[in-house]
Amino acid sequence: MLDPSDFIKESIEGIKKQIGDEKAIIALSGGVDSSVASVLVSEAIGDNLLAVFVDHGLLREGEAEYVKETFEPRLNFDCIDASEEFLKELEGVEDPEEKRKIIGEVFIRVFEREAEKEGAKFLVQGTIAPDWIESEGKIKSHHNVALPHGLVLELVEPIRELYKDEVRVVGSEMGLPDEIVNRQPFPGPGLAVRVVGKLTPEKIEICRKANAIVEEEVKKEGLDESLWQYFAVLTDTKVTGVKGDIRDFGYLVVLRMVESWDAMTANVPELPWGMIRTISARITAEVSEVTHVALSVSDKPPSTIEFA
Ligand code: XMP
């Protein structure tokens, strides 16, 4: 059983020893892992850590503002709005893996620029145990990462021995708000994996609004702690509907709500019917481009959690 205050003390000591008086940088997404890694390293080296939040234009509603409000008072924090750069590269791309690849490449390009400007020597990452145990086996914790334009940074992974539940305990102990500590995972490529087909600003906005409604209603129902993820997917399918007396031809949105332990498998639990109907009614009323809402009932496997 992890003692969070012992862990924090030892971890801060270790980070001070590793980084010394050099500068470090972290890509802070606002997810629990990178948030905990950021505050740990910041406790150890203060403003020599720069936490960079990259807005790729595929974030949830209010996300950039929330992360800024939460971390700006506490960390040496910088928010980079790179949405135009991302969306330009993603124009016309349909294949989900291609979207992920482009987002990853642009992200590293933007991040490397910041690291160079900052003169960083260390790269902090919020890697946790499940991220490496199955894929890599145990690798040395002191190793270097070469970024595409040649910048070489030494890796600092302060929470690499922890599991998600332990990361949450450490985050609470360090005074991070519950909203950060207990929030549902949000994929790095953001809404790009929740918009099926080509990305356009219009489709991203529809998906963003539908996701905000799902989050609001799930929280109202008190299911946000028992569900692993809950979100809306904008499909590429258009279906006929009728709004008022007028026939309409709009998008099909699919609701996805799953329970899971580690995202390797997931199941769709029985969900309160009233909540599902409210979400459907709100999405079709508040998001004019949507005519139809469906509920996904497939577990993982055989389905994946995300649609794209
Ligand atoms: P799937 O859809 O593969 O997702 O069942 C498993 C978990 O991973 C998240 N996910 C991603 N996270 N980059 C990420 O950082 C990605 O490209 C990505 N794709 C899926 C997903 O939200 C779920 O928690």
Torsion angle of C-alpha atoms 140, 104, 61, 170, degrees rounded to 10: 0
Q: ipTM score of the complex?
A: 0.98
- Contact between 20 and 41 under an 8 Å Cβ cutoff? The reply is no
The answer on whether 33 is annotated among ligand-binding residues is: yes
CA of 100, closest atom in ligand 1: 17
The answer on whether 46 is annotated among ligand-binding residues is: no
Q: 113 CA to middle of ligand 1, Å?
A: 26
Closest listed residue to residue 307, CA positions, set 224, 248, 250, 237: 237
CA of 229, closest atom in ligand 1: 24
Digit-by-digit pLDDT tens for the chain (308 residues) are 899 999 999 999 999 999 999 999 999 999 999 999 999 999 999 999 999 999 999 999 999 999 999 999 999 999 999 999 999 999 999 999 999 999 999 999 999 999 999 999 999 999 999 888 866 655 545 588 999 889 999 999 999 999 999 999 999 999 999 999 999 999 999 999 999 999 999 999 999 999 999 999 999 999 999 999 999 999 999 999 998 899 999 999 999 999 998 888 999 999 999 999 999 999 999 999 999 999 999 999 999 999 98
| CA pair distance 304, 308, nearest whole angstrom | 9
The domain defined by 194-295 folds into GMP Synthetase; Chain A, domain 3 (3.30.300)
| CA pair distance 282, 130, nearest whole angstrom | 37
| CA pair distance 120, 22, nearest whole angstrom | 7
Q: 187 CA to middle of ligand 1, Å?
A: 5
| CA pair distance 45, 41, nearest whole angstrom | 6
CA of 307, closest atom in ligand 1: 2
Helices 83-90, 96-118: axis angle to 10 degrees equals 150
Q: 74 CA to middle of ligand 1, Å?
A: 29
Element (H, E) at 102: helix 96-118
Tell me what pLDDT residue 45 has: 98
Angle, alpha carbons 190-223-214 (nearest 5°): 45
The answer on whether 34 is annotated among ligand-binding residues is: yes
Tell me what pLDDT residue 137 has: 56
Q: What is the three-state SS of 152-210?
A: EEEEECCCCCCCHHHHHHHHHHCCCCHHHHCCCCCCCCHHHHCECCCCCHHHHHHHHHH
| CA pair distance 80, 69, nearest whole angstrom | 14
Tell me which residues have their CB closer than 6 angstroms to ligand 1.
100, 185, 187-189, 193, 229, 263, 300, 304-306
CA of 228, closest atom in ligand 1: 24
Q: 306 CA to middle of ligand 1, Å?
A: 6
Q: 280 CA to middle of ligand 1, Å?
A: 24
Closest listed residue to residue 190, CA positions, set 82, 285, 298: 82
| CA pair distance 120, 14, nearest whole angstrom | 18
Query: Which residue out of 98, 191, 193, 268 has the highest number of ligand 1 atoms within 8 Å of its CB and is therefore the one to mutate?
Result: 193
Joined together, the tokens standing for residue 133 give 């145990």
CATH for 4-181 is 3.40.50.620
Domain ranges of the chain: 4-181, 194-295
The answer on whether 31 is annotated among ligand-binding residues is: yes
- Contact between 124 and 85 under an 8 Å Cβ cutoff? The reply is no
Q: 7 CA to middle of ligand 1, Å?
A: 28
